[in-house]
Amino acid sequence: MLRTKIARNDKLDWDCFVRHTTWRTRNGNVLVDITQKLVNINDMRKYLWLCAVVVLYCNKLPIGDDEMNQRGGFEGQVLELQTINSFTENKKIALGTSGNLVIGKGDNYESHIILKFTFSDTSFEGLDEIKLVMRINSSFDNDTVPVGIHILTNSFTEDEATWEKRSNTAGWDSAGGDYEEQPLRNGVIIGDSMVVYFNYVELNRIKTAQGIILIPQDSGFAYLYSREGGHATTFQLVKNGEVAVYSTTGDCHVLNGPLPFYVENWIGSGIASRNFIIFNYDSTLADKRAIYGELRFTFDSFFSRLDSVEIGVKELNEHASGFDTELGPLIALKSVSVDDTICTIDIVHYVQRMIDFPDSNFGLCLYITPENYDLSTVKITDGSFRLKVGYLSPPEPRD
């Protein structure tokens, strides 16, 4: 069998859209010489009409705009509305429905976690392990927080407890929760969970107590899952390799922190702060169609363990009369990074409502949503609110 080494040589000639391929033996003899057309010009021409149709039928040229003008004079206008007033109302809301349990202290904030367990009546003898397991919510920037676990000496209502109150009708003897001074155990919140071991005596005390309370022993904040957050805190009782799990029957955190002056502009969650702003209605806007209402303001400072917070905007259904002023539906929502310095939100619905019902211009409310999820405070630079409105005269109906 004759074995001959051959080499291939391609030469592209783009002037003529052809490729010459030559196969040669080692000694240079031409074995095969092929000329291929890369593109057939005639084939290309066949599709030119298709290209023309695509170009013709896909463009958005404003041909015939004179026709549209017979339905109105369409001219975009921009106007800036002046702020009449802005102020902040706040409330230490109950945090029993939050998806998180916040513990920590620092920057004048302090937060305690209160837990309630209901154990079965069976006696727990011969247990190998008794441990409290709490899972950390890693979507927050958590610190390592040493905590003391104390016996709670007064009952609480999960959905109603705040820093000052243990229910809607009763307050704590000491703000922040009533508990035994000496901790039952100490633990450290670090990594992805906190596990604290107990003995029989301690377990029996917990069984008969109103609950337990976790008090931060150093500065820093940590976020743990609540039972509403999907990973409830549990007591795990291990006996002969079998684990009996008891989840919390009530959990919440109570929070204390700095409050704004009335005339300052804060929005906050945890300690809920709502900022109310009223803009002056300009009669130039009468019978106009608002295209956008760009609300712009700058941030003075952030306190948050999240990378970003969501700012919601609602209209007021009545004159502002405090934190619980009746609000309308959500009209805008904006996620802002804690590194942002400027925020712009389109509140065209508020502007259009102001145009349609100028006598009902009660203002709008900025807040962090949801208000009970975490502990965040955003301070807005005083006097930084700007509302720029783009509008036009609406088209006239067909006559």
Partner 1 sequence: MITLLFLVLTGASVFSLGGMGEDQSVFRDDFVRRLNNAQIGFSLRPEFEILNESTDFRGLFWTNPFVFNLKIPVTSTIVASVGNQERFNQAFDTYLENDQLNVHLVSEGGVEEIYGQINNRIGTAGESGIPVAEVYFRGSYLFGGTREMWTYTISDYSIADTFVYKYLGCVFGGGVSVSILSCAFEGLGFLDMDMNNSDTALSKDLPERLSIGLHPSMNEYQIDLVYEHPFWSDSGFRSVNRFLAGIHKNSIGIAYAYNPWYIPGVTEHRLALNSRYSFKGLGFGELTVSAAIRNKNSIREIAIVPELKFVIEEIFARRKK
Contact 370, 311 (CB under 8 A): no
Q: Which residues within the stretch 121-160 sit at the binding site for partner 1 (CB under 8 A)?
A: none
Taking Cα atoms as reference points, which of 317, 388, 321 lies closest to residue 348? 388
399 forms part of the interface with partner 1 (CB under 8 A):
yes
As measured in angstroms, the least distance from the Cβ of 74 to partner 1 is 5
Contact 267, 366 (CB under 8 A): yes
Give the C-alpha distances (Å, rounded to integers) separating 322 from 170, 319, 364. Answer: 23, 9, 13
Question: Is 65 near partner 1 (CB under 8 A)?
Answer: yes
Q: Is 70 in the site for partner 1 (CB under 8 A)?
A: yes
64 sits near partner 1 (criterion: CB under 8 A): yes
201-220 footprint of partner 1 as x/- string (CB under 8 A) = --------------------
Nearer to partner 1, 26 or 398 (CB): 398
Count of alpha carbons within 13 Å of 380, Cβ hemisphere only? 30
- Which residue of 66, 121, 181, 324 would you call a contact of partner 1, by CB under 8 A? 66
| Among the listed residues 1, 2, 76, 123, the single contact to partner 1 using CB under 8 A | 76
Binding partner 1 by CB under 8 A: which of 282, 294, 310, 340?
294
392 binds partner 1 (CB under 8 A): yes
Complex with partner 1: residue 43 or 65, whichever CB lies closer:
65
Residue 46 is encoded by which pair of tokens? 């066949």
Considering only the stretches 156-164, 213-221, 286-294, 306-314, report the one whose residues sit in contact with partner 1 under the rule CB under 8 A: 286-294
Helix (H, G, I), strand (E, B) or coil at 264: coil
Continuous segment of H or E residues that includes residue 205: helix 200-208
Among 74, 197, 200, 357, binds partner 1 (CB under 8 A): 74
E strand map for 192-288:
193-197, 212-216, 220-225, 234-239, 242-256, 265-269, 271-279
71 binds partner 1 (CB under 8 A): yes
Strand segments (E) across 304-395? 308-316, 327-337, 342-346, 364-368, 376-380, 386-392
Is the bond into 258 cis (omega within 30 degrees of 0)?
no
Using CB under 8 A, which of the segments 52-60, 167-175, 245-253, 331-339 binds partner 1? 52-60
357 binds partner 1 (CB under 8 A): no
22's CB contacts (< 8 A; 6+ apart) are: 8, 9, 11, 30, 32, 33, 34
Can you tell me which residue has the tokens 């007064």? 154
# residues near partner 1 by CB under 8 A? 34
Is 333 a binding residue for partner 1 by CB under 8 A? The answer is: no
Residues lying near partner 1 in the complex (CB under 8 A): 53, 56-57, 59-71, 74-76, 78, 289-292, 294, 346, 348, 390, 392, 394-395, 397-399
